[in-house]
Chains A and B, each alone.
Chain A
Amino acid sequence: MKKIVNDPEAVVQDMLDGLISAHPDSLKQLPGSTAIVKKDAPVTNKVGLVSGGGSGHEPAHAGYIGEGMLDAAVCGEMFTSPTPDQVFEAIKAVDGGTGVFLVIKNYTGDVMNFDMAAELAEAEDIEVEKVVVNDDVAVEDSSFTTGRRGIAGTIFVHKLAGAKASAGGSLQEVKRIAERAASNIRSMGMALTPCTVPAAGKPSFTLDEDEMEIGTGIHGEPGIERKSVVSADEIAEELTGKILDDMSLNRGDEVAVMINGMGATPEMELYILNKKVNQLLTEQEITIHRTFVGNYMTSLEMAGCSVTLLKLDEELKSLLAADSGAPAFRV
């Protein structure tokens, strides 16, 4: 294992220290916790938005803290959900009196820990609502999940729900937007190489030199098929095809596209992929309203990508276009 780390057991705390040093004016870490919070939180009468999950998916989720997106991100250990007490601290820190909304990726541990935090908050009279994002069409029920997994499409939920909260939306209005967003998002990924959790020291799975895996999860969970590496166009066809099979898109529908890198894939390759995804959608007369290309939801140094489509309506379009102060998501 070759990595820029000090103590492999301390990577999360070391990262958070560096993160705060990079954004001293906009972020703070709650003492004794791994919750990163927007410096001016709580904002009175604004619904607070909290997300989080295991670390190793940077810039998710702390990179999405900013005006118009998240108010807090709770950073768990590597690929491990944060604990309820930490999520609870974040909820308290962003509650401006009108409730707190949680965006949770669908993993068994995350759902349980965030649910428990919500109960702790409700016991202290903080109103909490949530959405569980399960955008990955690759597999039902995997090693970390009952049902579908939550992956890169989660970032769109941060954006849309965050914009609604910043526009003065009530907790119920934010929930309505988040649920509508989540039900209109589909994603699918693939991997060329595995990733290595620093404390483990070795890759969680192996792929041969000429092999790739379709449908791999963001923790290296098994996908649906392993085969020889094919061209970017063929990868784009396979991922986009699976997504479209699962989504009711008609001629003239508008979508936002996210081409996401898993950590070690050059932007060049992501743009090569986007060329074909764009062409496939255009052929089906689906209108591409916005495209986002970059590393949004990574899996350490895994090489690979995911494609996400978000079906838009007028309200979602205006929320997507609203300003974002989050360093990792610009519109």
Chain B
Amino acid sequence: MELRANDVIVWMNKTNERIQKNKDYLTTLDQAIGDGDHGINMARGFKEVVSKLEGSEYSTSAETLKDTAMTLMSKVGGAAGPLYGTAFLKLSTSLKEKDPVDQTSFKNGLEEALEGLKQRGKADVGEKTLIDVWSAVIEVFTDNYSPENLAETAERAMNQTKGIKATKGRASYLGERSVGHVDPGSVSSYFLFVALAETLKGGD
């Protein structure tokens, strides 16, 4: 795989399309086990990301990802803003002077992002959060990389959050009642990685 500034822009555009299309779905999921603002917040944030990226010139993936991070951090709000902001900021920092980004560098960047998410959210793998999806996806870039495998792995990890009892985030106060609901943050992260898979596959 190879990632350049323009690929990041395509990636964010595709993510935005999915988030906008599924805004109400995300909100419904969040109303079940959170405070119901995930769809609205993510839709507002990614719309801003797309317009920020469209209006600027970028020569590297790192710069593009940094603006993505800063925009998400300042426009999403709630807990998702700092979480996604942190993830993209760590990814961006790790990819500095690595353009075009190869598979190993990208994997290392995702690992940094995952560490950032764990620290920011004070959570770990298996706690019904978006961390489950990010952690699963890293394995894809370690071996056996293909866009198809990336999309499938992200989807599987997202669906697995359904069976977990929440212990972190706002869903945690529901305890056992959170079982059976897929985690909204995992769904938005799934959209992100499916969009990445489509971007890396090229075409359309």
- A residues lining the B interface (CB < 8 Å): 76-77, 80-81, 83-86, 108-109, 112-113, 115-116, 141-144, 146
Interface string of B72-93 (1 = CB under 8 A from A): 0111111101110110000000
Which residue of B75, B86, B170, B173 is within 8 Å of A83 (Cβ)? B75
Q: List 21 A-B contacts (CB under 8 A).
A: A76-B77, A77-B77, A81-B78, A83-B75, A83-B77, A83-B82, A85-B70, A108-B79, A108-B170, A112-B82, A112-B83, A112-B121, A115-B82, A115-B120, A116-B86, A141-B172, A141-B173, A143-B35, A143-B170, A143-B173, A144-B35
Contact indicator A142/B73 (Cβ below 8 Å): no
> Which of B75, B79, B173 touches A109 (beta carbons < 8 Å)?
B79
Contact of A112 among B37, B70, B79, B170 (CB under 8 A): B79
Given contacts A109-B78, A143-B35, A146-B172, 17 further A-B contacts (CB under 8 A): A80-B78, A81-B78, A84-B74, A84-B82, A108-B170, A109-B77, A109-B79, A109-B82, A112-B83, A112-B120, A112-B121, A113-B81, A113-B82, A115-B120, A116-B120, A141-B172, A144-B35
| Min CB gap A142→B, angstroms | 5
Contacts of A85 in B (CB 8 A): 70, 73-74
> What is the interface residue range for chain B against chain A?
20 to 34
Cβ < 8 Å to A, chain B residues 12-43:
35, 37
Provide the bound-state CA to CA distance between A81 and B78, in Å: 6
Q: When the two chains form their complex, are residues B73 and A83 in contact, meaning their CB atoms are under 8 A apart?
A: yes
Nearest-CB residue, chain B, relative to A80: B77
Task: Note all chain A residues with C-beta closer than 8 A to B172.
Answer: 141, 146
* Residues of A close to B122: CB separation below 8 A: 146
Give, as a whole number of angstroms, the nearest-CB distance from A194 to chain B.
15
A143, B120: Cα distance in complex, Å: 18
Residues 122-177 of B contacting A (Cβ, < 8 Å):
122, 168-170, 172-173
B35 and A84 form a contact (CB under 8 A) = no
Look across to chain A and name the residue whose beta carbon is closest to the beta carbon of B71.
Answer: A85
In chain A, what residue has the closest Cβ to B34? A143
Question: How far does the Cβ of A9 sit from chain B's closest Cβ, in whole Å?
Answer: 12
CB interface residues, B 68-121, toward A, < 8 Å: 70, 73-79, 81-83, 85-86, 120-121
Neighbouring B residues of A142 by C-beta, 8 Å: 173
In the complex, A76 Cα to B76 Cα: how many Å? Answer: 12
Contact B73 A116 (CB under 8 A): yes
What is the minimal beta-carbon distance from B43 to any residue of chain A, in angstroms? 15
Assuming A141-B172, A142-B173, is B85 touching A84 (CB within 8 A)? yes
Chain B residues whose CB sits within 8 angstroms of the CB of A144 once the complex forms: 35, 170
Interchain CA distance A109-B122 in the complex, whole Å: 12
Which of chain A's residues have a CB closer than 8 A to the CB of B86?
A: 116
**Closest CB-CB distance, B102 to chain A, in whole Å?**
28
| 5 closest A-B pairs by CB | A112-B82, A85-B74, A109-B79, A116-B82, A83-B74
A77 to B77, CA, bound (A): 9
Q: For residue A108, which residues in chain B have a CB less than 8 angstroms away from its CB?
A: 79, 169-170
Contacts of A83 in B (CB 8 A): 73-77, 81-82
Complex contacts, A112 vs chain B, CB 8 Å: 79, 82-83, 120-121
Q: Can you name the residue of chain A whose Cβ is closest to the Cβ of B170?
A: A143
A290 CA to B98 CA, complexed, in Å: 62
Inter-chain CA distance A143–B170, complex, in Å, is: 5
Q: How far is the CA of A115 from the CA of B17 in the complex (A)?
A: 31
Bound-state CA distance A109–B169 (Å) is: 9
Compute how far the CA of A143 lies from the CA of B177 in the bound complex, rounded to whole angstroms.
13
Which residues of chain A are within 8 angstroms of B35 by Cβ–Cβ distance?
A: 143-144
Q: How far is the CB of A118 from chain B (nearest CB, A)?
A: 11
Which residues of chain A are within 8 angstroms of B37 by Cβ–Cβ distance? 80
* Shortest Cβ gap from B163 to chain A (Å): 21
Rounded to whole Å, the gap between the CB of B12 and the closest CB of chain A is: 19
B123 nearest CB across to chain A (Å) = 9
CA A141 to CA B175, docked complex, whole Å: 10
Q: How far is the CB of A260 from chain B (nearest CB, A)?
A: 24
- Most chain A CB inside 10 Å of its own CB: which residue of B79, B86, B120, B172: B79
